[in-house]
Amino acid sequence: MAANGRRDMTDSGNSSKNSSRSFGGFIAGFDWLQIIALAFLLTTGLIFIHATGVQVGTPAAALFFKKQLTQWIPLGVLLWGFFALQDHRKFYFKSGGVLFFILTTIALILVLKYGIKVYGAKRWLMIGSFRLQPSEFGKLSLILVLAWLFSTPRFSGAKWAGILTGGAIVLIPAILIFKEPDLGGTLILFPIAGAMMIVSGLKWRWLLLIAVIGAAAFFALRAVVLADDPLPDKTNTVSTIESGKAPKKGLLKPYQKRRLRVFFKPNSDISNSGHNVYQSRLAVGAGGIWGKGIGNGTQNQLGFLPQTVANNDFIFSVIAEETGFMGCLLLLAGYGLLFFSIVRTALKAAPYGRMIAVGIGAMFFCHTYINIGMCIGLAPVTGLPLPFVSYGGSFIFVGMISMGIMQSIYRCREQEG
C-alpha cells in the first residue's frame, strides 16, 4: 500500500510537470516578436489619437480615442486570438477563405447600392451599430483565395492557368472598389497579387515585362494629368453649363486628378487640393530631431492639419512634428520588427502558409509606404491608413485577423497536411 501511495504521488508529480511544460510550450509557441511589435504600434496609435483629440478639444475628436480604446482594439485582440488558435492547414480554413472572398464580393456589390456616402464616395456599410468598410476586408479575402490558388501546382504563377485565373480573380474586387470610388484601395490589390505570384514561381522575363509596362503606365499617367487643363472653377462651370456643353468624363474622378496633379507638382495648389499635403510636409519638417513634445504640435492644434485627417490619413505627420526624427525612427523600427517577423514566418512555412504570409506582408508594406509617403510628398494622397496606428475599426479588424493568421502559420511551421 505504501508503494502504491508513493507511485500515485510520483504520477501526480509527473502529471503536474507535464502540464506545466505543455503550458510553457504553448506560450513559447507564439511569435513574441510580432506581439511586441503589435503592442508598440497599437500603443503609439492610442497615444497620438488621444493627443490629436486633446489638441482639437471637440467632443467628436475625444470620441475617436474612446472608440479605438474600448471598441476597435479589444475586438481586434479577440479576433487575433481566435485566428491565432486555428490550424490554417486544415480544409475548413482553406474553404473558409474562399467563402470569405465570396462574402466580401457580395458586400462590395451591396455597398455600391446601399453604402453610406461620405465625401462623395460610397465605401461603408452599416452592420448594426458598426460602420464597416468592405474594401478593407476584400484585401485579406483576396490574399486567402490567391494563396489557395497559387499553392496548387496546377495554378502556380509559373503557369498560364495560374496567371490568367489569378488575374481574373483580382479584377473582381478591383473593379468593384474602383466604382466606389476608391483608387488607392484598387491599386493596392495589384502589388499584393504580384508579390504572391512572384513567390509562386512567376518567370523573371514576365517580371521584367511587368516592370516595363508599369513604368510606361506611370509616365503616361503623369503626362495625361499634367497636360490636362486645370479643373474648372465656379465661373468656368457656369459658362460650360450656359453653353450647353457637358463636362468631359474620364476614367478618373475630378478629385483624383487633383490629387495626382498635386503629387506630380507638389506646390501647384497649396491653398486647395494640395493644402493637406503642404501642411503635412510642414509638420514633418517642423519636428526637427526631437520634436515639439507630445500634444504640442501646432499644425494640428491650430487647425492647419484638419481634424478629419489628423488622426487617420496624416497621423504620421502629427507623430513627426511632436516626436521629431528620432520618434519617426522608433516608429519605423516597430514596423521593421513586424516585417521581420512576417518574413521569418514566410521563410519557414509550407507553400500555402508562405503565400498567405507574403500577401499579408505586401499589404502592410504598401499601406506603410504609401501612408508615410503621402505625408512627405513621395506618394499621392490615397486615404490608406497607417497600419495599427491610424484611427479606424475596419483596418484594425483586418490587421489583427491577419496577424492572428500569421501566428497560426508560425505555430504550425511543420509540413502542411
**Which helix or strand (DSSP H or E) is residue 126 part of?**
strand 121-127
Note whether residue 72 is domain-resident. Answer: yes
Please indicate whether residue 329 or residue 27 has the higher confidence score (pLDDT): 329
**Burial category of 157 from C-beta neighbours within 10 Å (exposed 0-12, middle 13-18, buried 19 and up):** buried
Note whether residue 26 is domain-resident. Answer: no
pTM value surpassing 0.85: yes
What are the residues facing 126 on neighbouring strands?
131
5-14, 225-234, 236-245, 267-276: which range is least confident on average? 236-245
- Confidence label for 57 from pLDDT (cuts 50, 70 and 90): low
What is the mean pLDDT of the segment spanning 48-63? 75
Note whether residue 90 is domain-resident. Answer: yes
**Burial category of 5 from C-beta neighbours within 10 Å (exposed 0-12, middle 13-18, buried 19 and up):** exposed
Q: What is the pLDDT of residues 272-284, one digit of tens each?
A: 777 788 888 999 9
Phi-psi region of 252 (alpha: psi -120 to 50; beta: other; left: phi over 0): beta
For 401, the grid coordinates are 485577423
DSSP state of 1: -
pLDDT at 157: 81
Note whether residue 306 is domain-resident. Answer: yes
pLDDT at 6: 52
Is 245's pLDDT higher than 60?
no
Do 368 and 380 form a contact (C-beta atoms < 8 A)?
no
pLDDT at 9: 47
Q: What is the pLDDT of residues 135-144, one digit of tens each?
A: 999 999 999 9
Please indicate whether residue 248 or residue 145 has the higher confidence score (pLDDT): 145
Please indicate whether residue 10 or residue 120 has the higher confidence score (pLDDT): 120
Q: Name the residue among 119, 44, 42, 124 with its Cα closest to residue 308.
A: 119
pLDDT at 28: 83
Average pLDDT, the chain: 85
pLDDT at 237: 39
**Which helix or strand (DSSP H or E) is residue 331 part of?**
helix 315-348
What is the mean pLDDT of the segment spanning 222-228? 76
Q: What is the largest CA-CA distance in the chain?
A: 109
**CA distance linking residue 255 with residue 273, whole number of Å:** 8
What is the mean pLDDT of the segment spanning 380-386? 88
Q: Name the residue among 336, 360, 348 with its Cα closest to residue 97.
A: 360
Q: What is the pLDDT of residues 70-122, one digit of tens each?
A: 999 999 999 999 999 999 999 999 999 999 999 999 999 999 999 888 767 78
**CA distance linking residue 95 with residue 147, whole number of Å:** 12
Note whether residue 17 is domain-resident. Answer: no
| Residue 220 structural domain | 32-411
What is the mean pLDDT of the segment spanning 37-52? 94
Note whether residue 16 is domain-resident. Answer: no
Do 373 and 386 form a contact (C-beta atoms < 8 A)?
no
Name, in order, each residue with C-beta under 8 angstroms of 8's C-beta and a sequence gap of 6 or more.
Answer: none
Note whether residue 110 is domain-resident. Answer: yes
How many domains does the chain divide into? 1
Please indicate whether residue 117 or residue 287 has the higher confidence score (pLDDT): 287
- Confidence label for 330 from pLDDT (cuts 50, 70 and 90): very high
112-121, 161-170, 401-410: which range is least confident on average? 112-121
pLDDT at 13: 52
Highest mean predicted confidence (pLDDT) among 119-133, 204-218, 344-358: 344-358
Please indicate whether residue 142 or residue 413 has the higher confidence score (pLDDT): 142
Note whether residue 39 is domain-resident. Answer: yes
List the end-to-end C-alpha distance of the chain, in Å, as a whole number.
Answer: 48
